[in-house]
């Protein structure tokens, strides 16, 4: 009498590319033992199903039982990036600091990208590139960063309008002492500017 032999199970997995997604897969190939086989995923009877999709990142227990009630059990891990994609966006140069076609735009920078899977790319208008700076007009904008798995993060940045230059500003020296210190009064529109001299 030949002893019954448990089936041999080969498992392949697809990891999750974007943190928090539920698109992992487990695929089984079964040989040996005696058909038909019954498959259990985390103790849930899945019948003869060999491919499992839309799985979250975690550890799974796969068990295959053949017609002789011989069992093969394996632990399977669906992995994902350790942390979600993160970054910051802000204005790095105000409107008026640029030249040429950028003279009426502000420079916006995306900084400190982390999480997901490096390297990262950035989009301000048009297509993604390796440049983390772009020029945008006044208004509220959505800029983007993505990782190597095409996981995308949208960031909102507000570009304020150009600050108007003061007009009709004059100054008067009202006092000058013997130590060389003078008192200067500035007048004009607007009247809420700070002055350096």
Give residue-wise pLDDT tens across range 113-138. Answer: 999 999 999 999 999 999 999 999 99
Contacts of 123 (CB under 8 A, 6+ apart): 129, 143, 144, 145, 146
Give residue-wise pLDDT tens across range 11-67. Answer: 999 999 999 999 999 999 999 999 999 999 999 999 999 999 999 999 999 999 999
pLDDT at residue 178, rounded to an integer: 45
pLDDT at residue 62, rounded to an integer: 98
Structure tokens at 160: 């304020």
| pTM > 0.85 | no
Cα 17 from Cα 15, distance rounded (Å): 6
In 3D space, the residue among 15, 11, 93 whose CA is nearest the CA of residue 56 turns out to be 15
Task: Return the CA Rg of the chain.
Answer: 32
The answer, yes or no, to whether residue 182 has pLDDT greater than 70, is no
> Average of pLDDT values for 82-96?
95
C-alpha of 73 from chain center:
37
> ∠ CA 77-82-88 to the nearest 5 degrees?
155
67 with 36: CB under 8 angstroms? yes
Give residue-wise pLDDT tens across range 138-178. Answer: 999 999 999 999 999 999 999 999 877 656 566 665 665 54
Cα 56 from Cα 80, distance rounded (Å): 9
Structure tokens at 3: 């002893």
């Amino acid at each position: 009498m030949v002893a019954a032999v448990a089936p041999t199970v080969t498992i392949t997995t697809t990891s999750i590319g974007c943190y928090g997604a539920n698109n992992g897969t487990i695929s089984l190939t079964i040989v040996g033992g005696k058909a038909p086989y019954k498959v259990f995923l985390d103790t849930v009877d899945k019948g003869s199903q060999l491919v499992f999709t839309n799985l979250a990142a975690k550890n799974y227990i796969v068990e295959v039982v053949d017609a002789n009630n011989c069992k093969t059990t394996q632990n399977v891990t669906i992995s994902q990036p350790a942390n979600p994609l993160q970054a910051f966006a802000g204005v790095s140069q105000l409107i008026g600091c640029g030249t040429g076609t950028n003279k009426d735009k502000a420079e916006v920078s995306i900084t400190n990208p982390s999480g997901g899977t490096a390297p990262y790319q950035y989009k301000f208008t048009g297509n993604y590139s390796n440049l983390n700076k772009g020029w945008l007009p006044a208004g509220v904008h959505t800029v983007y960063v993505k990782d190597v798995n095409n996981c995308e993060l949208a960031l909102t940045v507000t570009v304020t309008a150009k600050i108007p230059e003061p007009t009709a500003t004059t100054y008067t020296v009202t006092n000058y002492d013997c130590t060389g210190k003078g008192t200067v009064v500035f007048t004009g529109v607007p009247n809420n500017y700070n002055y350096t001299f």
